[in-house]
Amino acid sequence: MGPALSKIDREHPPQLAYGTAGFRCDATQLVIAMERVGMLAALRSRDRDGLKIGVMVTASHNPHRDNGVKIVDPTGAMLAQAWESKAEKVACCPESQLLETLASVAEGEAASASVVIGRDTRAHSRALSQRVRAGAEALGARVEDVGVVTTPQLHHCVRAANGFSPVVKGPLYGYADALVDAFEALLKTSPHKTGRPDSTVVVDCAGGVGAFGIHQLRRRLEERGLASVLSLRAANIVREAPLNHQCGAEHVQKQRLPPKNLSRRDLGAPNLRGCSVDGDADRLVYWFHGLSNFEIVDGDKIASLLAVFIARELAAAQPLIGTPSLGVVQTAYANGAAAAFLRERRVEVAFAKTGVKYVHHAAEAFDVGVYFEANGHGTVLVKEALRARLAQLDSEPGTGGRARLAVSRLHAVARLANQSVGDALADLLLVEAVLCLQQKSIAAWGALYDELPSRQLKQRVASRALLEPNATETRLVAPAALQAKIDALAASHKSGRAFVRPSGTEDVVRVYAEAATRRDADALALEVRRAVFDLAGGLGERP
């Protein structure tokens, strides 16, 4: 992969930004960045008194040729934002300035440093993760390599290894066992004691690491006799499909198309529900073949299903736990109909800038914060004090009753939902348990509300840095002429809404359009994409 180590120009490393989700670009450009991230992780570990820091080598939903790296803090959270600029300085400085740059970010005094490294299934991920190891070891860190894992698994390993969550025994610090324990606890609260007629879920694994996780879950579900409630069928496993190519959550949600190998005909049985994860299994979207259309049940609808369920259980548990706050956090990519649906049910909706780190942070403001990006990245955060109260009440000998049942359900949700980051495998179990408790079909779930038709496109430009978005990334501050054109185009379609922003994970400008009809949404997206091409230095053929 890429140039030989000896040929790399260490005086001029590629200039990378710690974008929406770490450093990400063509894999051949990443050798130096990986070594430097290893070094930075060692320094961060010293800064945090020797606690373990995680490093995940992945480019998630990007094409296979790309790779990337994200840093995980000791509690399993994403790297503190204050350290992102330090990471950029260390990753991008000439080698001749490396020592002084490292010295300028090194604040910690701890004698030891410790780094946990994970990677996805990309062909170049192993070699790149070895560069991370080399960097961390060069600064004296102890390295644990947990191999091929999903991004949320790596977050879990770091959190558990540092003692921030109880370790269930089993591989990867008990990751799969803990999930299935919590899933079982939630199912136990169901009044319906038999299996489900629609227990099978086909999981499109995007040709990536998700397949291993699904295998681990399936085995445990079978061992515990839960396969009649949930039977997982993995599709597009590693080697069955090229990573993220015409399959996976990004393809399904952005192209609004079925994943490769899973058309209505391929499935062979009617009424099967499917879901797709992305290349590192931190995103999940559901889908099914309706009577005439391919229907997607996206992150907005996952949030709606979970928030309405949780709101009901919080109300039922009120005599025991009072009235904790509940909120849903969305981004500008959320369908307009989702917020209206939630507000009608008196669930508070807040907005954050695109990017998991912003959405996660905004969700922390609530006692129970449900956040999902439309693309399926999300989770349910439960504040530590509430979680402890639920655990205590749930462990007391029960007198039964609705409030007590609600406490058990909420406690199981808090255990199942990943507290660090969106997690496709945890979310899958959470959604399945709720569908099962509510005896809801995917068609009924999909019909919770009617979405406004939307379309997403991307356009390459000479320099996406020339596009300057406002704080919420819903409008452009510059170029002003492009924003004026977008406003005019949106106003020319009924219920038209459109915005563009430079991607933080791919070298493209993203276009989003929503309107009253499918035709209008498609037309508006195309018109806006043309405007980006004309007014922001489009590359390639004019759309």
User: Binding site membership: which residues?
Assistant: 60, 278, 280, 282, 373-375, 501-505, 510
Torsion on CA atoms 162, 165, 167, 172, rounded to nearest 10: -70
Segment 290-349, which members bind ligand NG1 (CB under 6 A)? 333
Any contact of residue 373 with ligand NG1 (CB under 6 A)? yes
Pick out the residues of the known binding site for Mg(2+). 60, 278, 280, 282
- Residue nearest to Zn ion as judged by C-beta position: 60
128 close to 31: Cβ distance less than 8 angstroms: yes
Binding footprint of ligand NG1, residue count (CB under 6 A): 14
How many residues are given for the chain? 543
Q: Does residue 3 have a cis peptide bond before it, meaning omega lies within 30 degrees of 0?
A: no
Count Cβ neighbours within 10 Å for each residue of 141-179 and write b for 16 or more, e otherwise.
Answer: bebeebebbbbbbbbbbbbbbbeebebbeeebbbbbbbb
Please choose, out of 2-10, 140-148, 498-506, 535-543, the segment that lies near ligand NG1 by the rule CB under 6 A. Answer: 498-506
Any contact of residue 451 with Zn ion (CB under 5 A)? no
Nearer of residues 260 and 510 to ligand NG1, judged by Cβ:
510
The catalytic residue among 45, 60, 276, 420 is 60
- Residue 60 annotated in active site: yes
The CA distances from residue 239 to 65, 209, 242, 267, in Å, are 16, 11, 7, 19
Q: How far apart are CA 433 and CA 181, in angstroms?
A: 12
Question: Within its chain, how far is the Cα of 411 from the centroid?
Answer: 23
Q: Which of residues 285, 505, 524, 535 is near ligand NG1 by CB under 6 A?
A: 505
Any contact of residue 503 with ligand NG1 (CB under 6 A)? yes
Nearer of residues 278 and 520 to Zn ion, judged by Cβ:
278
- Token pair in block for residue 278: 């992305």
514 by DSSP, 3-state: which?
Answer: strand
Angle at 138 between CA 172 and CA 91, to 5 degrees: 85
Q: Which does 278 bind (CB under 5 to 8 A by kind): Zn ion, ligand NG1, none?
A: Zn ion
Any contact of residue 29 with Zn ion (CB under 5 A)? no
Nearer of residues 274 and 355 to ligand NG1, judged by Cβ:
355
Q: Within a 13 Å sphere around the CA of 459, how many CA atoms are in the beta-carbon half?
A: 28
Segment 248-307, which members bind Zn ion (CB under 5 A)? 278, 280, 282
128 close to 32: Cβ distance less than 8 angstroms: no
Query: Considering the complex, what minimum distance in angstroms separates the CB of residue 249 from Zn ion?
Result: 8
Alpha helices in 364-440, H assignment, sequence order = 384-395, 402-416, 424-437
Query: Considering the complex, what minimum distance in angstroms separates the CB of residue 152 from Zn ion?
Result: 9
Q: Which does 280 bind (CB under 5 to 8 A by kind): Zn ion, ligand NG1, none?
A: Zn ion
Any contact of residue 504 with ligand NG1 (CB under 6 A)? yes
Q: How far apart are CA 142 and CA 161, in angstroms?
A: 13
Any contact of residue 427 with Zn ion (CB under 5 A)? no
The CA distances from residue 286 to 17, 80, 208, 341, 424, in Å, are 32, 31, 17, 19, 11
x/- contact string, 487-516, with Zn ion (CB under 5 A)? ------------------------------
Segment 8-67, which members bind ligand NG1 (CB under 6 A)? 20-21
Please choose, out of 138-146, 285-293, 350-358, 460-468, the segment that lies near ligand NG1 by the rule CB under 6 A. Answer: 350-358
Nearer of residues 13 and 279 to Zn ion, judged by Cβ:
279
Q: Which of residues 88, 184, 298, 506 is near ligand NG1 by CB under 6 A?
A: 506
Query: Considering the complex, what minimum distance in angstroms separates the CB of residue 18 from ligand NG1?
Result: 12
387 close to 401: Cβ distance less than 8 angstroms: no
The site for ligand NG1 (CB under 6 A) is made up of: 20-21, 333, 354-356, 373, 375, 377, 503-506, 510
Active site residues: 60
The site for Zn ion (CB under 5 A) is made up of: 60, 278, 280, 282
